[in-house]
Structure 1
Amino acid sequence: ARTVGAEYAVPTGDDVGYQRRAVDDGDVIDAGPIQLQVMHTPGHTHNHVSYVLRDTAGTPHAVFTGGSMLFGTTGRTDLLGKAHTRELTHAQYHSVHRLADELPADTKIYPTHGFGSFCAATPASGDSSTVGEQRTTNPALTQDEQSYVDELIAGLSEYPAYYAHMGVINTRGPAPVDLSLPAPVDPDELRRRIEAGEWVVDLRERTAFAAGHLGGTLGFELSDSFVTYLGWLYQWGAPLTLIGENEDQVTDARRELVRIGIDDLTGAAIGEIHTLVAGTELRSYRVANFPSLAEALRKKDVTVVDVRKRDEYAESHIDGAINIPLHELLGRMSELPTGEVWVHCASGYRASVAASMIDRPDRTTVLINDDYENAKDTRGIGVAAQR
């Protein structure tokens, strides 16, 4: 905004620490050939608003719904704490109805949150929609109010811990962004940081990490899930060093981290992993799939660790698997046995992070880099639902 001279439009009820244009329900923001009409749509928060895009004749073409009406679901209502959740869930129901009642069926929907976002109350579906389509698919519009409220609240699951920090940052206001390459870290200094127990994060692809990595580092593959899970597990304010194969990889990671408020990096080590060892040997562990797990279960005693969230485990899980959600793993390491441990999640990403955490000399770690749906079709693996 500073760069292009734009102004921030923020609901009047939000007390922020920077200059903004306060907007209320019904206000219209003129932007040349288009207009943005403000609609108060509480639910995600008390002061949440949506913006209806209209042409100069006043005809609506689209609505930016933020955390209100999403594709096949709605925004979660518990971000302000349990004391506000039920009230906000009722408000969310009425906000979605208002959008559906006041806008034409062909109005396109552009929510802030989509598939995979923890800000959605339940998983979103699809990548485009209209108000008319939502009238027949969105639970807020197909259920009665009490059923919607009860089911939404019952289905709310954990969300990333960094959300609490983002709220404070958003209220305080944006700070200048530094996207420059972090200070270089040589192999000897990198080893010192690892031995000191600092956060040293390897950005390489998960199978490359498994094939060879520095002991004591954590593998967070730079992909769509990177910032969600690093932000969730990271000890806020702790020294953070990145390992990347090239400068672009490190710069891209820094950009993602800045978006959630992690601005201060203590450095980066860049290059092929074998050039960063400083006289130590690389560690490695096996990467496998669910058919390989079935074979292992037939031949020997192994431990299976499921690092999905509790609601995922409750819906379906491998018989005998230990459920330790990834975001709880650092605090529950003592529950893991020595010996051979196979780790899985829904698709492999969370399991890859977990494998990097539990890998140590007295344990044989195996990363299951496979889609959990394949476990259900694999002979020799028993799958059950929690009773």
Structure 2
Amino acid sequence: MTAADVVKQEDRLVGLAVEVVETSSLGDRSYLATDGEVAVVVDPQRDVDRMIAAAGRLGVRIALVLETHVHNDYVSGGLELARLTGAEYGLAAADEVPFDRRPLVDGDLVEISPRMQVRAVATPGHTYHHLSYALEGTDGPVGVFTGGSLLFGTTGRTDLLGEQHSEDLARHQHASAQKLASALPDGAQIWPTHGFGSFCSATQASGDSATLGEQKQRNPVFTLAEGDFVEQTLAGLDAYPAYYAHMGVQNTTGPEPLDLREPARAEPEELRRRLEHGEWVVDLRSRKAYVVSHLAGTVGLGLDGPMATWLGWMIEWGAPITLLGESREQVAEAQRELARIGIDKFAAAAVGAPEDLAADPGQLRSTPAAEFADLASALSGGARGLPAPEVVLDVRTHNEFTARHVTGAVHIPLYELKDRLGEVPPGAVWVHCGSGYRATAAASLLEADGRTVVLVDDEFGAAAEVGVPMNDDH
């Protein structure tokens, strides 16, 4: 899904329609609900041109912008969207901010038109001040925007305000779900912001749409007693991206308007100089292209995966970043992705094939790639012209590794690898993740450190089937 994709109107209700604007790279959704004339927008991402375009296509005026909570996983576009459209901007009264907004508390009813209104429902859990918004038409409530509270098959994580609050917020999260269940009919649609791959989910979300009644049947927040739910929620929490620490601060102080002007263009000599200084030079091409040819020292984080999440997690905040793309369009897409997490100033950018961007042919590198079947053969002494796997490095998360891993594998999550390269044992390294995306970034870091690397570009689920020995802790 590209940066500008808009999911079709997924819910046509009695006199109302809800448009979904998806940001698949961050696992989030924003919403525009309309009665055909005016609209309310909930949890808009920073690149608000997508919302403005959706409203224009539908021929409606944005009258109200709402936030369910102060977001930790992206920079909000709410303040800017309200400024550009003249809409009222609503968020929790308990959140202290320096800008004008409509302060909302539990039970507040905001009439958008005679045919459409929203009712604020306090649903603490993901944060203490979290609000959900019940969408009401002429015949009563038709759905609820649940933000980071009730998700599809799970709930929002409860540790973003600090581990010391995790258990208390998990108990709030359970109570909030029961509150929604008692306040709304079973047929009410659920429109969560998080849960589509976002690290804001407590556990992996499931499904693409749901009603409240359907969630009552299968969501652990409804099927488990409070104590069991809290225990399961806390046990499932894993690390979350380091850049989250900066998002809440930006959203509370008021994000700057988005600037997507092209970065300064870097010539080959400048690129070489930046690489020699150890700066972040990010190759945006697919990992298939990266392994064939790339500049030594670049980091392979293609736009074919969640580039912004992993780059934002690995870098030192504020470090200079140079973007390398096959086209200006690739660079522009990367800028948009990174601006969503507050990275909007770049050292430089360059466009072209690696051969065109190299100041010297000696800068060009390729990375051997393999599948898990090759690893199985290599572990039994039958490698096909590849270095023998003296080290198998797993760069998945802690929870992934604990659930199942290759027997004897060394585990260093990708987000820790840059600072733990010295812990990788000597010898040729075969590196893998869950699909090949994170392993590509890891391979590039290892190569830059002078290591011999083989990239396992394959689905982890295939490993056991092809004979890779496994430790299975299920």
Q: TM-score range by the shorter chain?
A: over 0.9
- Counterpart of 2:398 in structure 1 is 310
SS in 2 for 1:384: strand
Q: Note the C-alpha offset of 1:362.
A: 4.6
Confirm or deny: 8 A CA contact 2:389 2:430 kept in the other structure. Answer: no
Cα separation, 1, equivalents of 2:277 and 2:398: 33
Residue deviations 1:71-127, cap 9 Å, x none? 000000000002211111110000011111111111111101123111000000011
Measured after TM superposition, the shift of residue 338 of structure 1 is 3.8
For residues 50 and 64 of structure 1, the distance between their equivalents in structure 2, rounded to whole angstroms, comes to: 6
Structure 1 or 2: larger strand share? 2
Determine if the alignment matches structure 1 residue 195 to structure 2 residue 276.
yes
Query: SS state of the match for residue 339, structure 1?
Result: coil
Kindly provide the CA deviation profile for residues 251-275 of structure 1, in whole angstroms up to 9, marking residues without a partner as x: 0100011111111111101112210
Unaligned 5+ runs, structure 1: none
Q: Which of 335, 349, 359 is 2:437 aligned to?
A: 349
For 1:232, the equivalent position in structure 2 comes to: 313
Q: Which amino acid aligns with 1:19?
A: D
Distance (Å, rounded) in 1 between the aligned partners of 2:366 and 2:389 = 21
Structure 2 partner of 1:68: 149
Shift of 1:7: 2.7
Is 1:51–1:65's contact at 8 Å kept on the other side of the alignment? yes
Equivalent pair of 1:339/1:362 in contact (CA under 8 Å): no
Report the alpha carbon displacement of residue 360 of structure 1 after superposing the two structures with TM: 4.3
Q: Which runs of 4+ in 1 moved over 6 A?
A: none
Query: Secondary structure of 2:87's partner?
Result: coil
Output one character per residue of 1:293-340: Cα deviation in whole Å (capped at 9) or x when no partner.
Answer: 111112245211000111111110111110111111011100123432
Matched, 1:296 2:384: no
Secondary structure at the residue paired with 2:452?
strand
Unaligned runs of at least 5 residues, structure 2:
1-80, 382-387
CA distance in structure 1 between the aligned counterparts of 2:136 and 2:105, rounded to whole angstroms: 17
Aligned-partner Cα distance in 2 for 1:170–1:336? 38
- CA-CA distance at 1:361 after TM superposition: 7.8
- Cα deviation 1:227-285 (Å, max 9, x = unaligned): 11111112100111100110110001000111111111111011122100001420111
Residue 446 of structure 2: aligned partner = 358
Indicate conservation of the 8 Å contact 2:262/2:332, yes or no: yes
Following superposition, the deviation at residue 199 of structure 1 comes to 1.0
* Aligned twin of 2:470: 383
CA distance in 1, matches of 2:428, 2:184: 58
Task: Give the deviation of 1:52 after TM superposition.
Answer: 0.5
Select between 293-302 and 153-162 the one with higher mean Cα deviation: 293-302
Contact 1:63/1:107 (8 A) holds in 2:
yes
Q: Offset at 1:355?
A: 0.8
Paired AA for residue 76 in structure 1:
R
Cα deviation for residue 223 of structure 1 reads: 3.0
Q: Does the 8 Å CA contact 1:338/1:362 hold for their aligned counterparts?
A: no
Code of the aligned partner of 1:47? H
- 2:125 matched to which residue of 1? 43
Provide, for residues 326-374 of structure 1, a one-character-per-residue CA deviation record: whole Å limited to 9, x for no partner. Answer: 1110111001234321111111111111111101485321111111010
TM-score, reference length from structure 2: 0.79
Measured in 1, the distance between the counterparts of 2:94 and 2:349 equals 41
Q: Which residue of 1 aligns with 2:241?
A: 160
TM-score, length basis structure 1: 0.97
- Is the Cα contact below 8 Å between 2:156 and 2:195 reproduced in 1? no
Displacement after TM superposition at 1:56 (Å): 3.0
Q: Give matches, 1:20-59, under 5 Å.
A: 20-32=101-113, 33-57=115-139, 59=140
Match of 2:219 in 1: 138
DSSP 3-state at the match of 1:367: strand
The Cα shift of 1:224 comes to 4.2
Identity level (%): 50
| CA distance in structure 1 between the partners assigned to 2:282 and 2:211 by the alignment | 41
Determine the C-alpha separation between the residues in 2 that align with 1:253 and 1:328: 23
Tell me if 1:322 matches 2:407. Answer: no
CA drift of 1:6 comes to 2.0
Whether the aligned pair in 1 keeps the contact of 2:391 and 2:426 (CA below 8 Å) is no
Between the aligned partners of 2:304 and 2:107, the Cα distance in structure 1 is 40
User: Per the alignment, do residues 309 and 244 of structure 1 end up closer, same or farther by CA in structure 2, a change over 3 Å counting?
Assistant: same
Deviates more, 1:194-203 or 1:1-10: 1-10
Alignment of 1:156-305 (within 5 A): 156-281=237-362, 282-299=364-381, 300-305=388-393
1:18-60 residue CA offsets vs partner (Å, 9 max, x unmatched): 2111111111122223111100000000100000011134x11
Alignment match, 1:16: 97
SS of alignment partner, residue 322 of structure 2: strand
Q: CA offset at residue 386 of structure 1?
A: 4.8
CA distance in 2, matches of 1:163, 1:8: 23
